[in-house]
Amino acid sequence: MTRYGMVIDLDRCTGCRACMVACKVENNTPVANLWMYVFRFEEGTYPDVRVNFMPRPCMHCDNAPCVKVCPVGARFKRADGLVATDYERCIGCRYCEVACPYGVNFFNWKEPAKSQYLDGKDATVASVTGGAVPPYDNPDLDAPYGTERRRIAGGGQLKGVVEKCTFCVQRVEAGRLPACVTSCPVQALVFGDLDDPKSAASQRLESKRSFRLLEELGTRPRVHYVGGRPPTAESRQIEAVRAKV
Amino acid sequence: MAAHRIARAQPLPFGVGRITPGWSMIVAILLAGVLVGAFAYALQYTEGEVVTGMRDIGTMGGAPWGLYIAFVVYFVGVSFAGIAVAAIVRVLDLERLRPVARMGELLAVISLVLGALSILADVGQPLRAIVNLLRYARPQSPFFGTFTLVISGYLFASLVYLFLEGRRDAAILARTPGRLQWLHRLWASGYRDTPAERERHERASYWLALAILPLLVTAHSTLGFVFGLQAGRGGWFSTLQAPGFVVLAGVSGLGNLIVLAAILRWALRAKQVLDDTVFRWLANFLLALTIVYLYFLLVDWLTSTYAAPAADARLAAVVYTGEYAPVFWTSVAALVAAAALLFGQFARRRYSLALVVVAAVLVNVAAVGKRVVLVLPSQTHGALLPYVPGTYEPTLVEYGVLLGIFSLGALLLTLFMKVFPILEVGGHHAEVGS
């Protein structure tokens, strides 16, 4: 049976962050909600300094702490491996966010329509978009998905709920790849069925030594990293990111 | 004999039904506080929680749980002493603490309501929360214990207990004609204080008290599990969380009860009922729990500094010597000072009401501080991936909402005192055997 996963090739990643932009455009996430984020690390001291990059989507864990702690079952694990958020059931308690060791959950701190990069009411913007707000609204995001028929796709759906990376469920169920994967210029991200040994993702996973993030916590992530090394206590972020809502 | 007592009409005791200027002024002040809270909350509700100091973990560098959650823990903690004292009086037949039993029950009920309101203030979709937390309740989530179990089970049991324990007094008061007679009649709900009725009542209260005690430990433990079961951040994962929550709940609850009893003793001129024996018992009870909690702190300190895993050691440094050190050490100092004050009085067998009250206030300061240090550092500094450390600064909106919640609690208490005696009027226990 199909069980999706992602393989991220750290030898290939150049830290261009095209995946982050693709994610925001596809999923319409509010300002500062970075479902996909690319760490840019440096290690060591001058002149002996190393730089490396590490994309961080949701890990879609098989033993997900966020699923365990959700008091209302809004966060759930699908049979195909995806960890999804039913934004119609979420009460916004943010327990998933606190329980997740990877920092991939994002709360909608204000009305999503007021939290977009483009101000749809701005005269210049409106003249181009014809007044559609938000200008890049994607109807696919509002449909129910999966055997459960629950609304789990897209970001910026509602104030006061938690949202996170969905592996672009609206694209995957239509037989396409997640936005971050298609936009990667060096094919560092590979998505596919990890239960099928012939899938591109499985092949890439077999090709090199691999690791999973914080594997010692027993979360069993479905995102595998090949090449490179996991960040250590010495890894510093090159730029201290503190995104503002 | 008891029936005769009831038959004799008395004026309503303890100022019930008499509105005084002082009381009206207090109510006005508290109402103003509630209004401030309502305004602050309205702002948060319409604008979203962007008006609070909370932000996402990780790339946003914040804490998604802030003062609201710290005070959920505090309020639910306060409910401990209330119902514990009331139930222990019943189960162990502890005659001396009987005068504070009803105010204990009331304190428990009110603080649980405040705890529920704090949760609703925290969640992003409060209206949905009320429905979904019950409709889709998942016992596998530790949050189940906090909201679904505590609010619907514990609060309900406490309310029933308060109702049962108050029925006899209600029957006595219902004999007096007046504007409040309907309420007392309703509360008494047919209770006539016949020997058979009393017997049955005693038995029901006894079993309910017995049932509440394990519920009490469960409720406070599950609140500890909210944090203690999480291995995904440094600092929380610990077996000591659940028992620590139970004990600190007792400490803050008893502290609150002592302060409340002292205020009532003065306001109702009830020196005879709330005599020094009551305070001596409460003080010793508080001393014992405070010492246990100090022991827990010591164990925790050793565990988190000796050879702890890197993430926990880092967090321990933040709490003991870093950003949170002032709050942490203030709390510890307050606890130690309270323990010293209480122990001094215990050792010399001489108790001063003022000093007991000072200790009670100190432990509550410590309880609030300790909750803040428990909830926040693991969120801001407990990340296992190399995110930058987070910050959290509560905003005026959060303070406003909490002021409103506190005022509402005090208001409920103040209003209750005018419609029902907060101290027992029936001389209940002495007559049971007769």
pLDDT of residue A58: 97
Q: Is A106 on the interface with B (CB under 8 A)?
A: yes
Pairing between β-strand A223-226 and β-strand A4-9 as defined by DSSP bridges: parallel
Are A214 and B133 inside 8 Å of each other by CB? no
Kindly report the CA angle at A63 between A62 and A67, in degrees rounded to 5?
100
Q: How far apart are CA B404 and CA B400, in angstroms?
A: 6
Q: Is residue A245 part of a domain?
A: no
Q: Is A73 on the interface with B (CB under 8 A)?
A: yes
Give A51-91 pLDDT, tens digit per residue.
Answer: 999 999 999 999 999 999 999 999 999 999 999 999 999 99
B5 pLDDT band, cuts 50/70/90, is very low
Please report, for residues A78, A147, B147, B253, the alpha-carbon distance to residue B132 in angstroms, rounded to integers and kept in the order given.
21, 22, 11, 30
B76 touches B415 (CB < 8 A): no
Q: Is this structure's pTM higher than 0.90?
A: yes
pLDDT of residue A133: 60
B244 touches B295 (CB < 8 A): no
Tokens of A245: 């809502």
Are B47 and A110 inside 8 Å of each other by CB? yes
Lowest mean pLDDT among A115-124, A231-240, B118-127: A115-124
pLDDT of residue A135: 57
Q: Token match 């916004």: residue?
A: A92
Please report, for residues A198, A210, B152, B198, B286, the alpha-carbon distance to residue B101 in angstroms, rounded to integers and kept in the order given.
71, 63, 22, 18, 16
**Partner residue opposite A92 with nearest CB, options B125, B137, B230:** B125
Burial (Cβ within 10 Å: 0-12, 13-18, ≥19) of residue B374: buried
Residues of chain A contacting B132 with CB distance shorter than 8 Å: 72, 74, 89, 91
Residue positions counted in chain B = 434
Residues of chain B contacting A213 with CB distance shorter than 8 Å: 385
Q: Where are the alpha helices (DSSP H) in B123-194?
A: 126-135, 142-144, 155-173, 181-188
Q: Which residues of B264-275 are buried (b: 16+ CB within 10 A; e: fewer)?
A: bbebbebeebbe
Q: Is the pLDDT of residue B353 over 50?
A: yes
Is the CATH number of domain B2-431 3.30.70.1290?
Answer: no
Share of chain B above pLDDT 70, in %: 95
Q: Residue A6 pairs with which residues in a beta bridge?
A: A191, A223
Q: Which residues contact B212 (CB under 8 A, 6 or more apart)?
A: B83, B87, B154, B157, B158, B161
Residue B214 C-alpha, separation from nearest chain A C-alpha, in angstroms: 23
Q: Is the pLDDT of residue B427 over 70?
A: no
Q: Is the pLDDT of residue B7 over 60?
A: no
Contacts 24+ apart (CB under 8 A), B321-330: B322/B381, B323/B377, B323/B380, B323/B381, B324/B373, B324/B376, B324/B377, B327/B369, B327/B372, B327/B373, B328/B369, B328/B370, B328/B373, B330/B365, B330/B366, B330/B369
| Of A213, A209, A143, the residue nearest A174 (C-alpha) | A143
Question: In what helix (H) or strand (E) does residue A106 lie, and over which residues does it extend?
Answer: strand A106-107
pLDDT of residue A136: 64
pLDDT of residue B11: 66
Give A204-228 pLDDT, tens digit per residue.
Answer: 999 999 999 999 999 999 999 999 8
Q: Is residue A54 part of a domain?
A: yes
Q: Is residue A20 part of a domain?
A: yes
Are A91 and B141 inside 8 Å of each other by CB? no
Q: Is A38 helix (H, G, I), strand (E, B) or coil?
A: strand
Of residues B2 and B60, more confidence is placed in: B60
Question: What single-letter amino acid sits at B375?
Answer: V
- State which residue of chain A sits closest to B122, comparing Cα positions: A93
pLDDT of residue B198: 87
For residues B301-318, average pLDDT = 93
Lowest mean pLDDT among A100-104, A238-242, B9-13: B9-13
Q: Is residue A58 part of a domain?
A: yes
Q: Is the pLDDT of residue B6 over 60?
A: no
Give the number of other Cβ atoms within 10 Å of residue A96's Cβ: 27
Question: In what helix (H) or strand (E) does residue B372 lie, and over which residues does it extend?
Answer: helix B353-375
Are A231 and B140 inside 8 Å of each other by CB? no
For residues A97-114, average pLDDT = 94
For residues A21-44, average pLDDT = 94
pLDDT of residue A132: 66
Residues of chain B contacting A108 with CB distance shorter than 8 Å: 48, 124
Lowest mean pLDDT among A39-53, B92-106, B390-404: B92-106
Q: How far apart are CA A223 and CA A11, in angstroms?
A: 16
Tokens of A233: 């206590």
pLDDT of residue A119: 74
Q: In Å, how far from its chain's centre is CA B401? A: 18
Are B47 and A100 inside 8 Å of each other by CB? no
Q: Is A71 on the interface with B (CB under 8 A)?
A: yes
CATH number for A44: 3.30.70.20
> How many domains would you assign to chain A?
1
A8 touches A223 (CB < 8 A): yes
Pairing between β-strand A210-211 and β-strand A223-226 as defined by DSSP bridges: antiparallel
B216 pLDDT band, cuts 50/70/90, is confident
DSSP calls for A144-189: -BTTTTB----S--STT-EE---S-HHHHTTT---HHHHH-TT--E
B61 touches B390 (CB < 8 A): yes
> Where is mean pLDDT largest: A124-133, A192-201, B157-166, B213-222?
A192-201
Q: Is the pLDDT of residue B131 over 70?
A: yes
Q: Is residue A188 part of a domain?
A: yes
Q: How far apart are CA B178 and CA B327, in angstroms?
A: 51
Residue A104 C-alpha, separation from nearest chain B C-alpha, in angstroms: 8
Tokens of A179: 């936005």
B429 pLDDT band, cuts 50/70/90, is very low
Sequence ranges of the domains in chain B: 2-431
Share of chain A above pLDDT 70, in %: 98
Give B267-302 pLDDT, tens digit per residue.
Answer: 988 888 898 999 999 999 999 999 999 999 999 999
Tokens of B65: 């749980």
pLDDT of residue B241: 94
Domain containing A158 equals 4-237
Q: How many CA atoms lie within 13 A of B72 on its CB side?
A: 27
- State which residue of chain B sits closest to A34, comparing Cα positions: B59
Q: Is the pLDDT of residue B428 over 60?
A: no
Q: Is residue A244 part of a domain?
A: no
The pLDDT mean for chain B works out to 90
B10 pLDDT band, cuts 50/70/90, is low
Q: How many CA atoms lie within 13 A of B128 on its CB side?
A: 19
Q: Is residue A86 part of a domain?
A: yes
Q: How far apart are CA A165 and CA A181, in angstroms?
A: 13
pLDDT of residue A200: 96
